[in-house]
Amino acid sequence: MRNPRSLISRALLLPRPLLPPPPPSPAAAAAAADRRIGGGPASSSPPRTRRWIPGAPAVAPLGSRTVPVGLAGALSLSLTLVTAAEAKEPPPPELVPKDVVLYQYEACPFCNKVRAFLDYHDIPYRVVEVNPLSKKEIKWSDYKKVPILVVDGEQLIDSSGSYKSFQSSKIILSLFFSCSFPLPSCTWFVLTDIINKLSKRISTDDFVIGEEEAKWRRWVDEHLVHLLSPNIYRTTSEALESFDYIAKHGNFSATERFTVKYAGAAAMYMVSKKLKKKYNITDERAALYEAAETWTKALDGKDFLGGSKPNLADLAVFGVLRPIRYLQAGRDMVDNTHIGEWYQRMENAVGEPSRIMA
């Protein structure tokens, strides 16, 4: 955990009760009365409420002193940034990788899981947005899916035979995104390998995953992820909303962007209905709400599944939900379940992205 460095931050973190100014003594009150214009008696009317006059500097009361609203806002922002920085859990400087590159699709939930891990641990990384149609950005790799994480020259993907053993399984894939709708077991092996390897690299102790933590990481990939597509492509309008986001944030040419938005939305609207049948989902919204409540109950009154700070299961759930949070499905989920408070705590804990902007 980082300690606040600036004097302002330290001052802000100290409790300071705000007390009203003491009442004036009788002598002071009499002197004030003598100074009034005309020397007349003190008015019996109540004191006037301060009004804001256009063009006048705005001030806010703070005990017996006033602080300009602009400065108060800056101080509040400073406190917020300190809180966010304190929530992150960076590794010791000597264990921070020197060069990290993530090959991704912006809207891919599995790529977001990796980004949530990097952001929370404050590991600087560069992003290469892969064009889902040509995939020219990853032609150098034998592995043709994302995410691919390159850490100090080492490519972190699953190196076992597990992935290939699932290749022959039949599944409906996205028209454009090979990461968004693969067989979840396959994705589980890949992401477990990526995040576990990176966790071992930055850990000062023996890297051990608890049984509860592992159970909920599997739940994310074996259950929660199945609910995303049927929900974000539930109606034609939601499918268009989702692909509008994908088209705007993906690596596409102008022509591809138009095609992706409309052809992709139409295709995935139809695919989502088949996915509902495949995974025995009757009511996609009800299933999403149930999953959100299941996760909230698993917290058992704690801020995070990890207790006072997120663990890998918290980061996995957060990463998968992050791409849909501000789509209609995500808004409905937060409005109709108890997951919103946990999600807000996760946003605060993960903090600002540690991504290096080109």
Write out pLDDT tens, residues 222-270: 999 999 999 999 999 999 999 999 999 999 999 999 999 999 999 999 9
24 pLDDT tier (thresholds 50, 70, 90): low
Neighbouring residues of 355: CB distance < 8 A, sequence distance ≥ 6: 115, 118, 119, 124, 125, 126, 127
Write the DSSP assignment of 199-260 as a string of letters.
Answer: HHHH-SS-----HHHHHHHHHHHHTGGGGHHHHHTSSHHHHHHHHHHHHHHS---HHHHHHH
Task: List the structure tokens of 284.
Answer: 């996609």
Name the active-site residue from 103, 108, 181, 304.
108
Residue 108 designated active-site: yes
**Percent of residues, the chain, with pLDDT higher than 70:** 66
- Alpha-carbon gap, residue 219 to 207, rounded angstroms: 21
Q: How far is CA 332 from CA 89, 298, 325, 329, in A?
A: 31, 21, 9, 5
Three-state secondary-structure class, residue 149:
strand
What's the confidence (pLDDT) of residue 282? 96
Question: In sequence order, which residues have a C-beta less than 8 Å from that of residue 75 and are 6 or more positions away?
Answer: 8, 12, 67
Beta carbons of 314 and 304 less than 8 angstroms apart: yes
Q: Which amino acid is at 298?
A: A
State if pTM tops 0.85.
no
pLDDT bin (cut points 50, 70, 90) of residue 192 is low
Q: Say which of 110, 125, 176, 343 is annotated catalytic.
A: 110
CATH architecture, range 100-177+185-350: Up-down Bundle (1.20)
Query: For residue 103, which of 125, 123, 122, 130 has the smallest C-alpha distance?
Result: 130
Q: Which residue has the tokens 């995500």?
A: 330
Of 330, 316, 305, 284, residue with least CA distance to 187: 316
pLDDT of 154 strictly over 60:
yes
Given the residues 103, 105, 233, 343, select the one marked as catalytic: 105
- From the list 111, 120, 189, 269, the catalytic residue is 111
Task: Identify whether the C-beta of residue 172 lies closer than 8 Å to the C-beta of residue 210.
Answer: no
What torsion do the CA atoms of 113, 114, 120, 123 make, to the nearest 10 degrees? -170
Binning pLDDT at 50, 70 and 90, where does residue 99 land?
Answer: very high
Per-residue pLDDT tens over the stretch 133-150: 899 999 999 888 899 999
